[in-house]
Chain A
Amino acid sequence: MRRVVITGAGTVNALALDVPGTLAAMAEGRSGIGPLTFPEVERLSIGIGAQVRGFDPDMHFDPQKRALYDPFTQYALVAAREAMAMAGLGQVARPEGWGCIMGTAGGGNHTINDAYRAVYAEGRNRVHPFTVPRLMPNAAAAHIAMQFGLQGPSFAVSTACASSNHAIGLAYQMVRGGVAEGMLTGGSEAMLNFGGLKAWEGLRVMSPDGCRPFSQTRNGMVQGEGAGVFVIETLESAEARGAEPLAEIRGFAMSSDAGDIVMPSVDGASRAIRAALDDAGLSPDEIGYINAHGTGTAANDRTECLAIRQVFGAAAERVMLSSTKAMHGHCIGATGAVELLACLMALRDGLIAPTINFEASDPDCDLDVVPNVARAAQVEAVLTNAFAFGGMNAVLALSRV
């Protein structure tokens, strides 16, 4: 099977509007979480989130195109451009050999929110003519494919909080198996609006005051938004182009709890972790860092730590684990893509992003969670976990090239 590498990365999130800014924030342990600002936020019981700031669509898109782009598509396109530029690709050599797979949970959620507000709250009888092409969950993938002329397999993946990892994993399998020569892949999410958050509020899993993964004082998740997009291709093609591989994707695995629609299971998570290691041909001893799903809910963090202990055994005592969600928030369908950046930083820069807001250790989460301060450490291979509502789990394994 062919070796698959990442040659470009791009992002927009609450920490920064590009990869260098995001990595700098992760290295500093800075948080992008703050008071939410959007219409009717005062009617929410949850007033904080990791909102993208300073993003000016007019800087990136001409007005006619922009009318077709929900914010989740805008974030994805800007991230894709950064990734393509980093990969040194203007256009791809053989368009039919390239495609785009993007994860998203909510699709064009702002467009849905705005259209519902117009017809239900304001009693208007007309919505914008592009409402459907803006809200459809495959819009981001479609516009990326259009922008770069990718004529091969393109589609959207929707597995809630695991969407990005599923998307990247499928793109990886396509390139590895020879179905595609290269792919743009990642995830995008933008549902920080009144309707989007009102729905989340109902589930009562959000924290009113902060995201504190693995800390004994944690009391829920904090929503974020943004996008992460990666250029992946065969090692051979990267070398032929003289492109520098940022990391190698070594393995991918998925599992389903087939249990509860919202409560995570140790067994489902541990099966995905173990299978990703098997697929990569790596042992727990070789993994230096795990980017945790680490949502900061009571249930996820306890379950995730148990699952890691179950698979890693003695190696769990020395593996570093961190959740970067305390910085960029839980970007839902984009979260795995944004978190993959922390994996690249670990592998390339030898710097482990911290779990910030860590206040007190919890006996249920007694792993090395790299509390509060980034740590210099040479790591050869990493895992990144995503465990979604629906009990759908997706774990990627990466290493230095």
Chain B
Amino acid sequence: MRSDVQDKIFDIIAREALRDPAELTTETTLDELGLDSLGLVEVIFAIEESFGVTVPFNANEPGKAEFDISSIGAITRAVEHLLAGTRPAQAVA
């Protein structure tokens, strides 16, 4: 079952990628959706505005594990950690 956080993130990313949220899964990556660097920055901004959080993200180091953007599921977990005020576990591999 999807959490509220996940629903909102699906909506944000679907809107940015011009897709139907039903097409997305937690395994979907932003690359697959064709989101470029500007699209990614807009997604991050929308997440910050929707959830009232500050996302640690530098476009020069998108792969840094501090905020994992490797899939929609990873983004959801990272936002849940931000909301809980905890640091996410470092991504393995």
| A→B interface (CB under 8 Å) | 45, 202-208, 218-220, 260-263, 297-299
Minimum Cβ distance to chain A for residue B42 (Å): 10
B36 touches A219 (CB 8 A): no
Chain A residue contacts of B60, Cβ below 8 A: 205, 207, 218-220, 297-299
B interface, over-half SS: loop
Q: Is B89 located at the chain interface by the 8 A CB criterion?
A: no
A265→B57 CA distance, assembly (Å):
23
15 pairs, A vs B, C-beta closer than 8 Å: A45-B54, A204-B44, A204-B57, A204-B59, A205-B60, A207-B60, A208-B58, A218-B60, A219-B58, A219-B61, A220-B59, A260-B36, A263-B37, A297-B60, A299-B60
Chain B residue contacts of A207, Cβ below 8 A: 58, 60
Minimum Cβ distance to chain B for residue A304 (Å): 15
Chain A residue contacts of B58, Cβ below 8 A: 204-208, 219-220
Q: Is B83 located at the chain interface by the 8 A CB criterion?
A: no
Chain B residue contacts of A299, Cβ below 8 A: 37, 60
A262 touches B45 (CB 8 A): no
Question: How many B residues touch the partner, as a band?
Answer: 10 to 19
Known: A203-B41, A204-B41. A263 touches B36 (CB 8 A): yes
Minimum Cβ distance to chain B for residue A48 (Å): 14
A219→B56 CA distance, assembly (Å):
13
Chain A residue contacts of B44, Cβ below 8 A: 204
Minimum Cβ distance to chain B for residue A188 (Å): 27
Query: Which residue of chain B has its CB nearest to the CB of A220?
Result: B60
Q: Is B93 located at the chain interface by the 8 A CB criterion?
A: no
A77→B43 CA distance, assembly (Å):
43
Query: Which residue of chain B has its CB nearest to the CB of A262?
Result: B38
B54 touches A203 (CB 8 A): no
A205→B37 CA distance, assembly (Å):
11
Chain A residue contacts of B61, Cβ below 8 A: 219, 298
Query: Which residue of chain B has its CB nearest to the CB of A204?
Result: B59
Chain B residue contacts of A220, Cβ below 8 A: 58-60
Minimum Cβ distance to chain A for residue B40 (Å): 9
